[in-house]
Amino acid sequence: MTKIRIGNGYDLHQLVEGRPLILGGIQIEHSLGLLGHSDADVLTHAIMDALLGALSLGDIGHYFPPTDPQWAGADSVQLLAQVHELIREQGWQIGNLDSVVVAERPKLKPHLAAMRDRISGVLGLQADQISIKATTNEQLGPVGREEAIVAYAVVLLTADS
């Protein structure tokens, strides 16, 4: 008998000048970057919240509070590794992970494979267990005005009972 759990994650970070753009652990050349206490990797944050949510473990703000100087400029992929360890300690593993990044610019398609390789490396996933998609917001709203980037993630966890 296999137990299953589902979790979803959402995150938004503001786009500003003078910050690097890091998505899925990959630094992308762009005139704007994401504002945040850590490296503001909005995709990795959404994935972390999906993992935590699947086991009712709260959210990333609980584990890595933005008020804690320890996490200033933190590499979010390292935080993801810590969250993954928490999941594994409780006997769960990832069945699959699906995600989408919503950004007007830059074009993310050329970077999706690198993001997938980085995240799957950290989580120990096969290529067919992880999906990272990209879309625009059709120039509508804060994402469409290039004021922010948003990410959504859904994860399925499995465990032997």
- By beta-carbon proximity to Mg ion, the closer residue of 38 and 120 is 38
Least separation in angstroms between residue 159's CB and Mg ion is: 27
User: Which segment (37-45, 66-74, 106-114, 138-146) binds Mg ion by CB under 5 A?
Assistant: 37-45
- Residue 45 interacting with Mg ion (CB under 5 A): yes
- Residue 11 interacting with Mg ion (CB under 5 A): yes
Least separation in angstroms between residue 132's CB and Mg ion is: 16
- By beta-carbon proximity to Mg ion, the closer residue of 60 and 123 is 60
**How many residues sit close enough to Mg ion to count as binding (CB under 5 A)?**
2
Burial class (CB in 10 A: 0-12, 13-18, 19+), 5: middle
DSSP 65-102: -TT-GGGTT--HHHHHHHHHHHHHHTT-EEEEEEEEEE
Task: At 150, list the tokens.
Answer: 């948003």
Separation between Cα atoms, residue 7 and residue 46, nearest integer Å: 10
Parallel, antiparallel, or unpaired: how do β-strands 130-135 and 2-17 relate?
A: unpaired
- Residue 49 interacting with Mg ion (CB under 5 A): no
- By beta-carbon proximity to Mg ion, the closer residue of 62 and 126 is 62
Separation between Cα atoms, residue 122 and residue 100, nearest integer Å: 18
- By beta-carbon proximity to Mg ion, the closer residue of 11 and 104 is 11
Separation between Cα atoms, residue 153 and residue 23, nearest integer Å: 13
- Residue 25 interacting with Mg ion (CB under 5 A): no
Which residues bind to Mg ion, rule: CB under 5 A? 11, 45
